[in-house]
């Protein structure tokens, strides 16, 4: 039964990541469509904040597991 | 009973992925419709962020299982 | 009782898929209605992101079951 | 008591399908009302994405049951 | 106590159907009010997608019960 | 205690019906107010989709009970 | 303890009725305010759909109780 | 402990009534502010639909209790 | 432990009342701000529908308690 | 353990009061900002409906406790 | 374990207070920004309704505790 | 196990505080951006209502703990 | 099992902080984009309210733990 | 079973972080698209508030674990 609860916890992490990355990615595309010439700046910010969240998610996954 | 809880956890992961990918994909199409000539840049950003989320989901699926 | 929990887990996967595919498909149609001449590009993006989510859902269904 | 939990799981699948198909169908009609002359393209996209979701729902129903 | 859980499961199916059919039917009427001359096309789409969902709901009801 | 769980299940069915019929009926009235001369077509669509949902609700009520 | 669960089930039925009737009634008034001269048609539709839901609610109340 | 569950059930009924009556009453006032000269018709509709919901709530309260 | 569950039930009643009265009162003020000269009619309607909900809440409180 | 459940019930009452009073108070301020010269009428209505809700909350607190 | 449930109950009270005070305070600032010259009237109303809610919250905290 | 439930209760308090302070702070900034010259009045109101909520949160934290 | 419940409680605190800080930070950026020349005032308010919430969160974390 | 609950707690932390960072990052991109020349100021604010939340999340992860 151990692995099953593990997957539920992992599922919550992915929900968290999905809420965050979906919001970030969706708005990033909206922003590019509005200012195509600012696509570079937007993609930079998207990757910074995306990496911050991705790091938090994998950090929690590994710290929560050990 | 083991496999059943597994599926519930996997279901939460798919919910997370669905929230994120749905938001990303939906906004991407909205953006293409608004700026058809920026479709290349938008699709690039869509695939980057989508891969980030897809990677998180499969990583959680495998890490949560072992 | 085994199969019943299985169905609940499978139901969560379909909810995840429904949220994602509904969002993707709904926005895709909205986008086609706004730019009918960009229907090709939009349908390409819709199928890419839809396949990504479909793959995640079936992958979770099979991985979560075994 | 077996069949009862089965129905709850099946109910979740229908909720998932209802969220997705409702969103897809509702937006499709909105789109047809906005661009009646693009009704063919829209209906094609509606049936592709609807079949994708319908397939996922029945696949989950059968895989989750056995 | 058997039949009671059955009704809860059946209730979830109706909730799923209500979300989907309500969304489909509501948008269909909105669409007819916007383009009364396109009422035929809209009603066709409404019946296709409605039948898809109705079929899923009854399929789940029967498959989940046996 | 049997009848009490029955009522909870029946309550869920009515919630499903309320979400659907409320959405359908509310949008129908909005549509009539916008196009009073299209009231006939709108009422036809309202009754078709309403009957579809009503049928699903009573079918689930009877199938879930036996 | 029997009657208490009964009241919870009855409460869910009233929640369902409240969601539906509130939506129907609220939109009906909005519609009358927009087209006061169409008040007759709107009230007819309001009573048809309201009776449909009221009938479902009392049917569920009685069927769920016996 | 009997009376306590009773109160929880009664609370759900009041939540249902609050959602419905709040929606009905709130929209009625909005409608009167928009068309002060149609206040009579609006108040008639408000009282019909309000009485319908009030009747359902008290009917459920009494039927659920016995 | 008796009184504690009582308070939970009473809390649900107040939540119901708060949703309803907040919606009614909030919209009433919005309406007065839009049509200050119709303040009398609006306040009449506000008190009728408020009394209806207040009566339901206290009726449920007393009936649920005995 | 008695007092703890008491606090949970009391917390639900405050949530109900917060939803209602927040809605009432927030809209009242919005209304004053829109029609500063109608501030008297608005404050009268705000206090009537606020007192109604406050009375319901304290009535439920005392009745639920004894 | 006593104090822990106490904190959960207290947490629900703060959630209620946060919903209410946040709504009141947020709208108050919005109102001041729209009508800076009516800041006095708005702040008066904000403090009346805020005190009403604060009083309810502390009253519930003390009554629920004893 | 004592401290764990404590943290859950404390978490609910922070959720309450986050909903309230986030709403207050977010609207305050929106207001300053709209009327930069009214920043003083807005900050005064922000601190009054923020202190009210902060006081409620710490009061509940300490009262709920002892 | 002790540390696990601790993490759940800590998770609720972070949810509270995320709701609040996200709202504050998001609106702050919106505000800067609208009034770039008022960026100083906005950042001051953002840090005051952010520190208030951060302090509440860490205070609850430490008080809830001991 | 220990590690599993740990992952659930960690999942809640990531949900909190995802709500916050998603809101912050999404609004930041929207803001850059609106004022590309203010991208520096916006990115500064984004990193300050993001670091605040990131710090809270990791602090809660470590404090909740020990």
Q: Choose the closest CB to G11 out of H13, H27, H28.
A: H13
Model pLDDT, residue D3: 57
Confidence of residue E4 (pLDDT cuts 50, 70, 90): low
The shortest C-alpha distance from F40 to chain E (Å) reads 11
What is residue J21's predicted lDDT score, i.e. its pLDDT? 92
Q: Where are the beta strands (DSSP E) in A1-66?
A: none
Res. L15 pLDDT band, cuts 50 70 90: very high
The tens digit of pLDDT for each residue in B4-60 reads: 577 888 889 999 999 999 999 999 988 888 888 888 888 888 888 988 898 899 888
pLDDT classification of K15: cutoffs 50, 70, 90:
very high
Residue J66: pLDDT band (50, 70, 90) is low
Q: Mind telling me how many Å the CA of N1 is from chain A's nearest CA?
A: 6
CA distance K66 to chain L (A): 12
Distance to chain J for K39, nearest Cα, Å: 9
- For residues F2-14, one letter each, b for 16 or more C-beta atoms within 10 angstroms of the residue's C-beta and e for the rest, the string is ebbbbbbbbbbbb
Please give the pLDDT value at position N44: 86
CB H38 within 8 A of CB G42: no
Using pLDDT thresholds of 50, 70 and 90, give the confidence band for residue G43: confident
**Distance, in angstroms, between L10 CA and closest chain M CA?**
5
- K15 closest CB neighbour out of L1, L19, L27: L19
J3: pLDDT strictly greater than 60: no
Can you spell out the DSSP letters for I12-23? HHHHHHHHHHHH
**pLDDT (mean) for N48-63:** 87
Q: What is the complex's ipTM, to 2 decimals?
A: 0.81
Two structure tokens written together for A35: 């200012």
User: What is the reported pLDDT for A8?
Assistant: 84
Residues contacting residue B49 through CB under 8 Å, at least 6 positions apart = A21, A24, A25, A28, A46, A50, B24
Q: How far apart are CA I33 and CA I43, in angstroms?
A: 12
Cβ atoms G50, G21 nearer than 8 A: yes
Chain J hits for I27, Cβ within 8 Å: 27
Q: How many CA atoms lie within 13 A of L24 on its CB side?
A: 35
Using a CB-CB cut-off of 8 Å, the residues of chain D touching E12 are 7-8, 11-12, 14-15
Give the residue carrying structure tokens 């104090």: K3
- L17-57 pLDDT per residue, tens: 999 999 999 999 888 888 888 888 888 888 888 888 988 98
Give the per-residue pLDDT at B15: 92
Given a cut of 70, whether residue M34 has pLDDT beyond it is yes
CA–CA gap between residue K52 and residue I30 (Å, rounded): 21
**Please, are residues M56 and L31 in contact by the beta-carbon 8 Å criterion?**
no
A65 band by pLDDT with thresholds 50, 70 and 90: confident
pLDDT at C58 exceeding the cut of 70 = yes
* pLDDT value at residue J43: 87
- Is 60 exceeded by the pLDDT of residue H1? no
State residue N4's pLDDT score. Answer: 59
Which residue does chain H place closest to I21, by CA atoms? H22
Give partners of H (≥3 CB pairs < 8 A): G, I
pLDDT of residue M3: 57
Give the domains, in start order, of chain H with CATH numbers: 2-65 (1.20.20.10)
B49: nearest CB among A9, A12, A21? A21
Chains contacting F (3 or more CB pairs within 8 Å):
E, G
Beta strands in chain E (DSSP E): none
Provide the pLDDT for residue E21. Answer: 92
DSSP assignment, residue H37? G
Question: What is the structure's pLDDT at H3?
Answer: 57
Chains M and J touch (3+ CB pairs under 8 A): no
Residue I62 has pLDDT above 90, yes or no: no
Measuring CA to CA, which residue among E32, E24, G27, G48 is closest to residue F37? E32
Distance between CA atoms of residues M20 and M50, nearest Å:
8
Write out the residues of chain I at the interface with chain J, using a CB-CB cutoff of 8 A. Answer: 1, 3-19, 21-30, 32-34, 36, 39, 43, 46-47, 50, 54, 57-58, 61-62, 65
Out of C8, C27, C33, closest to residue D42 by CB: C33
């Amino acid at each position: 039964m151990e692995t099953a609860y593990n997957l539920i916890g992992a599922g919550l992490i992915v929900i968290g990541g999905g809420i965050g990355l979906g919001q970030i990615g969706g708005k990033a595309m909206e922003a590019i469509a509005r200012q195509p010439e600012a696509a570079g700046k937007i993609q930079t910010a998207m990757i910074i904040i995306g990496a911050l969240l991705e790091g938090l998610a994998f950090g929690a996954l590994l710290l929560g597991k050990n």
